[in-house]
Amino acid sequence: MEAIVQVMESTIGARDPYTVGHQQRATQIACAIAAEMGLSFEQLRDLRVAGSLHDLGKVAVPLEILSKPGKLTDIEFAMVKTHPQVGYDILRPLKLPAIISQIILQHHERLDGSGYPLGLRGREILPEARILGVADVLEAMCSHRPYRPALGLDLAFEELQRGRGTAYDPDVVDICLKLYEEAALPNPQSVPELARRPQAVENYISHSILDRGRDARWSGEKMQDFRSWLRHCPFQPRFILQSAMASLAACLFMINR
């Protein structure tokens, strides 16, 4: 599974390095929230993989649209909104836990049914997708983009609070805000440095979040297994044989169309 994640991350990074960085930072936020909420080891593992690939489907969206300054047209926005479905279609035939592709498919769904691509509501949306959705919004608003500067944590918090209980899961929002109030999570704009140092990321998640002793399920062998798994997960894109990897992803996409 780790090899598949590496190939896919490298493919995305060869085309759009911003997206890889965004995925890494959003995943770290999502995993911290999930750990605080007491999700199981298996759920955290699947969330980690899904988060690392949640924007994979953007390989089908022209870069001119992804980096366009100014407002997208209706047609352009409709193309962007296809990326959860495209990512799901790419990953579905692969030997990954089925829930991973479902999390990717659902990460833009909203509690009130206003999300996409399926218009799911409330508990129809997987808990992991509800968590990733909040982390995705927070990180995106705090990141610089070609068409706008970073909006910052304050505006991101305002958005989450405004959509709490309507668009976003209120429990997820509350935990997210609580972790930032306690300084248990860094500003997303500082996370890229962590993303460049896998050992720091491992220590950050395991010691700052999982070693607090708030959930007995994370003690002993389970904790060691999770640390080992984090250590071997790809936290940054590998820019080796990028053209070959891009070709592989393109082939997978065309096969599944």
Residues 6 or more apart whose CB falls under 8 angstroms from that of 172 comprise 33, 37, 130, 131, 133, 134
Which tens digits make up the pLDDT trace of 52-71? 999 999 999 998 898 888 88
Residues 6 or more apart whose CB falls under 8 angstroms from that of 136 comprise 26, 30, 54, 107, 108
The Cβ of residue 235 has, within 10 Å, a number of other Cβ atoms equal to 20
pTM of the model: 0.76
Domain housing 41: 2-255
Residues 6 or more apart whose CB falls under 8 angstroms from that of 183 comprise none
Burial of 227 (C-beta count, 10 Å sphere; 0-12/13-18/19+): middle
117 preceded by cis ω (within 30°)?
yes
Measured in degrees and rounded to the nearest 5, phi and psi for residue 166 equal -110, -65
Question: What's the CATH code of the domain at 211?
Answer: 1.10.3210.10
Query: Is the Cβ–Cβ distance between 75 and 83 less than 8 Å?
Result: no
Q: What CA–CA distance (Å, rounded) separates 65 from 83?
A: 13
Q: Where are the alpha helices (DSSP H) in the chain?
A: 2-15, 17-36, 41-52, 63-66, 74-80, 83-91, 98-106, 127-142, 153-162, 170-181, 191-195, 198-208, 220-232, 242-255
Query: Is the Cβ–Cβ distance between 142 and 188 less than 8 Å?
Result: yes
pLDDT at position 213, please? 43
Which tens digits make up the pLDDT trace of 179-202? 988 877 766 665 444 444 444 444
Give me the number of domains the chain comprises. 1
Asked if residue 240 has pLDDT above 90, the reply is: no
pLDDT at position 227, please? 52
